[in-house]
Structure 1
Amino acid sequence: MWQSDSVPRFDLPLEELREYRPALTAPADFDGFWATTLDEAAARATPTVLTRADGPLAGFEVSDVTFSGFAGQPVKAWFITPASPSRDEVQRPCVVQFIGYGGGRGLPVENIAWAAAGHALLVMDTRGQGSVWGTGGDTPDDAPSGPAAPGFVTRGIDDPSTYYYRRVFTDAVRAVAVARELPGVDAARVAVQGGSQGGGIALAVAGLSGAGLAAHPLTAVMADVPFLSHFERAVGMTSTDPYNEVVRYLSVHRTRTERVFETLAYFDGMNFAARATAPAYFSVALLDPICPPSTVFASYNHYSGPKQIEVYPFDEHVGGGPLQWWRQAEWFAGLLAG
């Protein structure tokens, strides 16, 4: 009988991955840091603006959304629902989708699968990103940063208060809060989903919700080949970006290693996973050179809520591709029917 452990790999065997639980790194003030951050963002929130976005998509209602994220700063999103029944006629579950590294919200047609499955969909733009693949982003990131390697992973990395992902994760928590208030959304049935960076963002939101730092619990968390997990191992074992941005930074700023990893501990997917309680569906690819399998299992094995993981032995960072979405959609439908 074929065994998945027969696949050549650069990481641990699958049976060891399933037991891999590195020590958590959350600082003592982890929850306080995030509570203060989210409270400040909520206090500076401004009304969400929806503008109808006309276009060639038949069967969907699309709105251009501007909502307030970190520090009240404007963040763009797409809100997409089936056109029939209209938003005024039915309350739908909503999936809040986060984008992979380097991409922006693009055009509505790039992310319509969840709406095609009958759900409401909010696609959050990732601040400052959108110029590597897809058709662009529309949200600037104007925060000051000290010296950084090209990319986003080392922006503001000398201090958790200035780190780039503090702003992104706060945007994401705010996006979920905004989604609950959108027309036609059932506020009691909101899920988060994303792949790679998007999966890491989804885990952060799950942890912040599970720790009681967001207003309401999530219905589901879907994290595919998540980035931003178990930084110490990821930075040490892969030579590919985005993790290698940290390597390049530390190869120049040689005295800042301890400080960098102290900052990253506030943003590590493992530490969020340990606080998450919503049902979760992960995926991992055993040949993934970008988000190594052990870093994914580090978060999965620490995840505190009900969970399952789909393993793709022969895939790299695609992590199951359209098949994984199909499985997710069936899983989510079963969860809603349950």
Structure 2
Amino acid sequence: MPSADLPLAECLTYRPELPLPDGFDDFWSATLVEAPHDGASDKPRFEEVDCGLSQVRTYDVSVPGYGGRPVSGWLRMPVGTTEPLGCVVEFLGYGRGRGLAHEQLMWACAGYAHLVMDTRGQGWSAAGGDTADTDPGASGTVPGFLTRGVESPETYYYRRVVTDAVRCVEAMREHPEIDPARIVVTGVSQGGGLALAVSGLVEGLAGVMPDVPFLCNIPRAARIAGLPPYTEIAAYLQLHRDRTASVFHTLSYFDAAHHATRATAPALFSVAMMDEICPPSTCFTAYNRYAGPKDVRVYEFNGHEGGTEHHRSEQLAWVRALFAGLPTGQAVRS
């Protein structure tokens, strides 16, 4: 399908005016420092499970996320390691949950720890989820998650999800078998947007790998994307004709293109030029604003599937080279 967005040459230099909302940094500092806590356990839990794999250890994970509410995940680690492990923390695409214990083995087979974070309230696709979203502002007037609590930044759904993502990275930094100096965050689509958000909120990451990232240049995406989920915003504004300015004001606090300007870690992006879900110009908005060292792989004739396993090969090589150049941050704690 021919691209309906900007051609590659224009995307490579595309830096639209994207005003930073007042108090952006203060909002996120307050969110992460003062996030409400309902008295739930404040320690991550790792329970080993037997899923029939002899070379990979798998742990059922629960991390206190936004408000202290538990966020599920899977942690997979290679068997027989004695040195601190590099770790890949992965955030999932829209609608996906953490799935089953024996899935997604690539990173563990490559010798790294791999945490997959469940996404609160999601997981209605084949990859089921186990994390509820019962917080205030969880309801919306159109199906989906993009307009849940969109009346204000404080009640917006992705405030909770981004906080969950930061807490998962923090949990990995404290894990006794993980080297805190070698943690990479990654994700496809929604997961890529979350990886970018974390890149701007967490200092000292080793690397960031956003694939066809969602939540970038949201005003443009809501106006040109041909397929969901950005169309949820248009559907909401069709019903609430007087809320356009206030909705985009709320969304500006969650635009990954703003978080990208705060990032310092090396990044490997991917962008697909025929993507009707995350239009390439929106992904390049974040890439061109990304403040750390960066590189990008462009899949000119692909849609939202992007580079799939071809890109996984690029990522494996990139992470290997990245970790090889970093000193070990700690010894394994008993």
TM-score category by the smaller chain?
Answer: over 0.9
Name the counterpart of 2:277. Answer: 290
CA deviation vs aligned residue, 1:268-293 (integer Å, no higher than 9, x gap): 01100111110000000000000000
SS, match of residue 253 in structure 2 = helix
What residue in structure 1 maps to residue 233 of structure 2? Answer: 246
1:337 to partner: Cα distance: 1.5
Q: Which residue of 2 aligns with 1:62?
A: 58
Whole-angstrom distance in 1 between the partners of 2:3 and 2:20: 30
| Alignment correspondent of 1:22 | 16
Within 5 Å, give how 1:157-306 maps onto structure 2. 157-209=150-202, 216-306=203-293
**2:234 alignment partner AA:** V
1:31 corresponds to which of 13, 25, 35: 25
1:20 maps to amino acid: Y
Match of 1:153 in 2: 146
**CA positional deviation for 1:52:** 1.0
The SS at the match of 2:298 is strand
Amino acid of the structure 2 residue aligned with 1:159: S
Q: Which residue of 2 aligns with 1:4?
A: none
SS at match of 2:125: coil
CA distance in 2, matches of 1:255, 1:58: 58
Q: Which runs of 4+ in 1 moved over 2 A?
A: 41-45, 144-148
Q: Does the aligned pair in 2 maintain the 1:102–1:133 contact within 8 Å?
A: no
Match of residue 3 from structure 1: none
Q: Distance in 1 between matches of 2:24 and 2:130?
A: 31
Matching residue within 13, 36, 54 for 2:7:
13
- The aligned residue for residue 105 of structure 1 is 98
Say whether residues 1:129 and 2:129 are aligned partners: no
Residues 287 and 316 in structure 1, CA contact (< 8 A), matched pair in contact too: yes
Shift, 1:232, TM fit = 0.9
Does 2:115 match 1:92? no
Alpha-carbon separation, structure 1, partners of 2:231 and 2:146:
9
1:140 to 132, 142, 148: 132
**Distance in 2 (alpha carbons) for counterparts of 1:148 and 1:172:** 26
1:76 to 61, 65, 72: 72
Encode CA deviations 1:272-324: one digit per residue, 9 max, x unaligned. Answer: 01111100000000000000000000000000000000000111001100110
Indicate if the aligned counterparts of 2:212 and 2:270 stay in contact, CA closer than 8 A: yes
* Mapped partners of 1:231, 1:221: distance in 2: 20
- Which segment drifts farther, 230-239 or 103-112? 103-112
Normalised TM-score (structure 2): 0.94
Q: In the alignment, what sits opposite 1:337?
A: 324
TM-score calculated relative to the size of structure 1: 0.92
Output the CA distance in 1 between the equivalents of 2:125 and 2:302. Answer: 22
> Equivalents in 2 of 1:236, 1:198: separation in Å?
21
Q: Report which stretch shifted further, 146-155 or 284-293.
A: 146-155
Q: Structure 1 residue 322 and structure 2 residue 309: aligned?
A: yes
Q: Structure 1, unaligned stretches of length 5 or more?
A: 1-6, 210-215
Q: Secondary structure at the match of 2:174?
A: coil
Contact 2:99-2:126 within 8 A present in 1 as well: no
Task: Tell me how far apart the structure 2 counterparts of residues 152 and 112 of structure 1 sit (CA, whole Å).
Answer: 28
* Partner residue, 2:46: 50
Matched residues in 2 for 1:101 and 1:142: separation?
18
Name the CA distance, whole Å, in 1 between partners of 2:236 and 2:98.
28
CA drift of 1:42 comes to: 9.2
Q: Deviations over 1:97-121 (max 9, x none)?
A: 0010001011133222111111011
Question: How many Å apart are 1:57 and its aligned residue?
Answer: 1.8
Distance, in Å, in 1 between the alignment partners of 2:14 and 2:70 is 40
Q: Counterpart of 2:14 in structure 1: which amino acid?
A: Y
SS in 2 for 1:180: helix
How far apart, in 1, do the equivalents of 2:240 and 2:270 lie? 34
3-state secondary structure, aligned to 1:80:
strand
State how many pairs are aligned: 322
Sort the Cα spacing of 1:42 and 1:51 in 2 relative to 1 into closer, same or farther, 3 A. Answer: farther
Amino acid of the structure 1 residue aligned with 2:130: D
